[in-house]
Amino acid sequence: MNHSLGIPFEEVAKDFTPLVLGMIKRLRIYKNTEEYTHIGFIALWKAYTQYDPDKGTFSTFAYTYVRGEMLAQLRKEARYEERYELSAFEQNTEPAAPDSESIEQGMNSISPYLEELSPRERDWVIEYIVYGRGITEIAEKHNVAPSSVKTWRKNALKKLRHVFTKTNCH
């Protein structure tokens, strides 16, 4: 190990604490700050052991090292959240089974808008809004391909937008 600074790490850690804490603020890290403080001090230790005075000042080297380690951790966490938290969310999207009162309320609230729709478009609206079913579920129930249900949805939404615009403009 190269300790070319000639001072103990404890002193370096004390002197560079503002750098570590400031980097957390600069990178707008607002959760897991304790973890990032540890990452910052570990990065500072690595910088301390690998510093070469011929390559520039220690403060610049330490700044770059601490920032780099924190950014690497942020990227790692972002990738993890993207992969795993999204799939966990998708697994919990099962809607609760509606009771007969909420079905009746749902039907009453949407019935004035259904007149403009074809029977298949009405099927989509009722299945989706009242019963909370997804495209695959609706397709299986009506024995059609999911792409057909997507077409019903697209056409229904287009017509409903037109109806809402017409009723809200007058």
Residues 14 and 73 in one domain: yes
22 vs 33: CA distance, rounded Å: 11
* Contact between residue 39 and residue 76 where contact means Cβ atoms under 8 Å apart: no
Mean pLDDT of 75-82: 79
Identify whether residues 83 and 19 lie together within a single domain.
Answer: yes
pTM of the predicted model, to two decimals? 0.48
Tell me whether residue 83 is in a domain. yes
Residues 29 and 19: their CA atoms lie apart, in Å, by: 14
pLDDT, tens only, 84-141: 655 544 555 544 555 666 656 656 666 666 777 888 988 888 787 777 788 888 999 8
Nearest-5° Cα angle at 59, 54 to 64: 90
Question: Position of tokens 């103990």?
Answer: 8
Domain membership of residue 122 as a residue range: 100-169
Share of the chain above pLDDT 90, in %: 22
Q: How far apart are CA 163 and CA 55, in angstroms?
A: 69
Residue 150 placed within a domain: yes
Final residue before a domain boundary, out of 51, 67, 91: 91
Q: What is the CATH number of the domain that holds 159?
A: 1.10.10.10
Last residue of a domain, one of 91, 123, 149: 91
CB atoms within 10 A of CB 58: 19
Does residue 3 fall inside a structural domain? no
CATH code for the domain in which residue 79 is found: 1.10.1740
Is residue 96 within a helix (H) or strand (E), and if so which, with residue range?
none
The letter for the amino acid at 149 is V
Quick one: how many helices (H) and strands (E) in the chain? 9, 0
